[in-house]
Amino acid sequence: MPARILPFTPADLALAAAALRRGEVVGMPTETVYGLAGLAFDEQALARIFATKDRPTFDPLIVHVARPEHSQSAIDFDWLTFLVGAKLVESAQLGPLAIERIHALSRLWPGPLTLVLPKQPAVPDLATSGLATVAIRAPRHPAAQALLRAVGQPLAAPSANRFGRLSPTSAADVQAELGDRIDMIVDGGCCEIGLESTVVHVAGNGDVMLLRPGAVTRETIESITGAQVRTPAITVSANSPVAQLSPGLLVSHYAPSKPLYLLPASFHQWKQGVPEPVRKLLDQARGVGLLFYSGSDQELASWLTENADQLAGVSCFPAALSVGGDPAEGARNLFRTLRSLDAHPQVELILAEPVPDETGLGYAIADRLRRAGRKIDIF
């Protein structure tokens, strides 16, 4: 039986909340991507999350929280005190600079930001993969907030995809990924952001490390904390400090099932001739998906006409992340576009052009592409 897709109504949310309270797992919309939610303090529910996703238990989960109803009118809610009271965060190891920076960052909640902070013993080791820290996020999607309030407890929720696959950005994507393994998906529409949250580690001495780029950019984090943010390279070795801080960052993620190759330059360069390594790939495939960073339907059609001679014999299926190069639009469409090229019956491999500007959100888009694909110059 496929999962039931529940509309976002009070009665359906109550149904989903009751299932969660019984220890079941439910597909939950958030503004970033859809999550697979289960009770954060219930080991059986946590085990169910890992089993449903085929996720190895060395990859820790994010715990989702909502502000209590009665605090809604307070302008400057003290999240840290709330998280300590909720038996999630241990503040004893946090020095004054760390506390100041956590206060500054948590002003972005609810939103697409996850903070990695020292955990209390009450947080099950399964949620944190045995780490001394716990990842916490207050999502801003109204359905996620309503569900968290209805359950009355924090919910652990990784992205609702099978392990290593593309994150889902609609209820239909969750159905395609996990529909045969779960009973309910709350439908909150298409995700506003479309990339997973920014993950930030704040150390006891106040040092700030960006573990996963997202819609809250490094530039924003630096300006609101005054910290110089360190960013780990994504190819980290198993004994690097990053691997110890965030084991999930080691593995290749977000991959379509068809091979995805990252081009060193834009498709517009092909006018001067298709580069030799690309030629070899084109010769192997009958149908190729072309992931443009930007372009209107009309521009993509003219590109095909202009390059018709060199592409003779290859069926090309171009798709653009954004019409005019807006990074927010590009982020929103990234996983959806990759998913549709992946599902296209004639597409055998996907080529992606580089993100032209890797500052701000462009860095997060480029990060996901690097994890999903391989660079073409190794061939």
Distance in Å, CB of 190 to ligand TXA, minimum = 15
AA letter at 102: I
Q: Give the pair of three-digit tokens for residue 368.
A: 């996901």
Q: Contacts with Mg ion: how many residues (CB under 5 A)? A: 1
| Pure H helices in the chain | 10-21, 43-53, 79-85, 96-106, 125-128, 142-151, 171-178, 218-225, 241-245, 276-284, 297-306, 327-343, 361-372
Q: State the binding partner of 59 from ligand TXA, Mg ion, none, CB within 5 to 8 A by kind.
A: ligand TXA
Is residue 373 a contact partner of residue 264, using CB atoms and an 8 Å limit?
A: no
Q: State the binding partner of 248 from Mg ion, ligand TXA, none, CB within 5 to 8 A by kind.
A: ligand TXA
Q: Give the pair of three-digit tokens for residue 51.
A: 């089993």
Q: State the binding partner of 290 from ligand TXA, Mg ion, none, CB within 5 to 8 A by kind.
A: none
Q: State the binding partner of 90 from Mg ion, ligand TXA, none, CB within 5 to 8 A by kind.
A: none
Nearer to ligand TXA, 186 or 245 (CB): 245
Distance in Å, CB of 165 to Mg ion, minimum = 9
Nearer to ligand TXA, 80 or 285 (CB): 80
Q: Please, which residues have CB within 8 angstroms of residue 69's CB and are 6 or more apart in sequence?
A: 149
Nearer to ligand TXA, 38 or 248 (CB): 248
Q: State the binding partner of 6 from ligand TXA, Mg ion, none, CB within 5 to 8 A by kind.
A: none
Tell me 237's DSSP state: -
**Interacting residues with ligand TXA (CB under 6 A):** 30, 32-33, 35, 59-62, 114, 116, 128, 131, 133-135, 137, 139, 157-159, 196-197, 199, 211, 245-246, 248-249
Give φ, ψ of 65 to 5 degrees: -135, 160
Lay out the site mask for Mg ion across 114-153 (x = CB under 5 A, - = otherwise): ----------------------------------------
Interatomic CA distance for residues 3 and 176, integer angstroms: 10
The residue sitting closest to Mg ion, measured at its beta carbon, is 159
Nearer to Mg ion, 30 or 159 (CB): 159
Q: Which residue has the tokens 């100041």?
A: 100
Nearer to ligand TXA, 114 or 170 (CB): 114
Select from 315, 372, 308, 320 the least CA-distant residue to 346: 315
Select from 104, 113, 128 the least CA-distant residue to 196: 113
Distance in Å, CB of 297 to ligand TXA, minimum = 30
Q: State the binding partner of 188 from Mg ion, ligand TXA, none, CB within 5 to 8 A by kind.
A: none
Instruction: Answer left, alpha or beta for residue 346, where phi above 0 means left and psi between -120 and 50 means alpha.
Output: alpha
Distance in Å, CB of 250 to ligand TXA, minimum = 9
Radius of gyration of the chain, Cα coordinates, nearest whole angstrom: 21
Q: Please, which residues have CB within 8 angstroms of residue 362's CB and are 6 or more apart in sequence?
A: 327, 330, 355, 356
Which residue from 145, 159, 170, 294 is in contact with Mg ion, where contact means CB under 5 A?
A: 159
Query: Which chain residues interact with Mg ion by CB under 5 A?
Result: 159
